[in-house]
Amino acid sequence: MIAGKLIYAALLVVLVLFLILYRGALSLQLLIFALAFPIILRILLSVQSRKMAVQLRAAKRRLRKGEPFDWMLLVRNNSSIPAVQAQVLLEYRSSLAGLPQNLTVEIPVRPNNTHQVRLTFHAATSGVMDLKLKALRLYDPLHLFSVKRPLRDSSQVMVLPEPAVLPDWLPSAPEIDDSPEYSKVKPGDDPSEIFDFHVYREGDPITRIHWKLSSKLDDLMVKEFSLPIAGQTVLVPFYCLTAAQPEAAIRLDAMLAMMSGAAQLLTDAELSASLMLLSKLTAVPFTDFEDYYDAMTALLRTDPVSEELTESLVGQMFRLQEIEHQHDSLLVFLPKLDAGILSQLSGLPHPERITVFAAASAEEKLPADMLLPFPLYRADLDELLPEWERKLLPAPVPEGGAA
């Protein structure tokens, strides 16, 4: 715009000199036209900005990490004036990375026409990828003026983690002697609770006939006993920031990949499981991998919390588990090998119910005298992350001094 204004100023100087040196109608008309023309351009630009419409559409709403994804940007010019240069200002944000990035797309749009631009992205981590329209800026053909109009449209794409392979761990149902909980959807053989009644069918045991109810309904009604529910497996991710970006996002991504690998093994074994949303202290049950991804979506739609807040929620969550679900097995997932959190977990009641998975580099170590009352599975970040993602991690600091 500065170059356009300088050229226009030089043109005015030439026209003024032309009027001084060559007095007449033509020189005056040229000067008046040069002075009025920017005003006309400014009015046309204001009219055109009100006639422009911008939309954002996502080709896919949910996909797995590693797949490229597209947003379609549609700019509609409903006026008869061509948009020589239209700039669309956007903001791109990943729920794991947190910090937004500003993008600018320049689009020339013909009159009464719609221009489409395909924006292709490749996410560095899993999470919710949010693209927002911030503003539309239009320039006149001479680049003397610009008009900026705010936009409010946005679109999200869910990028789910690819399950990591966990060769050293196999899922198993929690072992309990007795369960106070009973299924609400399936009958069983526990006579201490009645699940439902049904009309007598051939083969039903006579001992299960409810004679008093049968006399009232004029049909033989048979009792269905309840099915005790064994404790389920609860996945507890420490969805928190444990480092500066981009390392924090990469560690969270590796942790989510581990948790997805565990969920896949649980669903393949047809074991009852749920995903704990630690910030809300609620557990979302899942029976197959699609259900797990639905629960994962609810997790990814929340921003990672600070480490301090997560640590304060641990005690609350375990107290809740002790009161309502005393027989659950807990799989805890950490984005780094943290001795403080492991010590806190060790001091909780019934630590034998806990299994911990930690995403850690080869240089991360626990104190030599630290004994854990639960199994700990370490997953090496170098094995979980592709090479291009590993390069974003900071270089390790050797023991005894700075790098």
For 146-188, the pLDDT digits (tens) are 888 899 888 888 888 888 888 788 887 665 545 455 555 556 6
Give 363-401 pLDDT, tens digit per residue.
788 888 888 888 998 887 776 666 655 555 555 444 433
Tokens 């309840």 belong to residue: 226
Q: For residue 45, what pLDDT is reported?
A: 80
What pLDDT is attached to residue 399?
A: 40
Q: Quick one: 114 and 217 in the same domain?
A: no
Does residue 37 sit within a domain? no
Whether residues 78 and 118 share a domain: the answer is yes
Amino acid at 180: P
Q: What is the 3-state secondary structure (H, E, C) of 114-180?
A: EEEEEEEECCCCCEEEEEEEEEEEEECCCCCCEEEEECCCEEEEEEECCCCCCCCCCCCCCCCCCCC
Q: Confirm if 341 and 315 have CB atoms less than 8 A apart.
A: no
250 and 292 assigned to the same domain? yes
pLDDT at 209: 82
Show the domain range for 115: 52-160
Residues of the chain with pLDDT under 50: 177, 179, 323-324, 396-403
CATH number at residue 310: 3.40.50
Residue 177 is predicted with a pLDDT of 47
CA 90 to chain centroid: 19
- If asked whether residues 221 and 245 sit together in one domain, one would say no
Q: How far is CA 129 from CA 117, 157, 185, 291, 303, in A?
A: 18, 5, 37, 21, 12
Is 237 in the same domain as 386?
yes
Kindly state whether residues 255 and 302 are assigned to the same domain.
yes
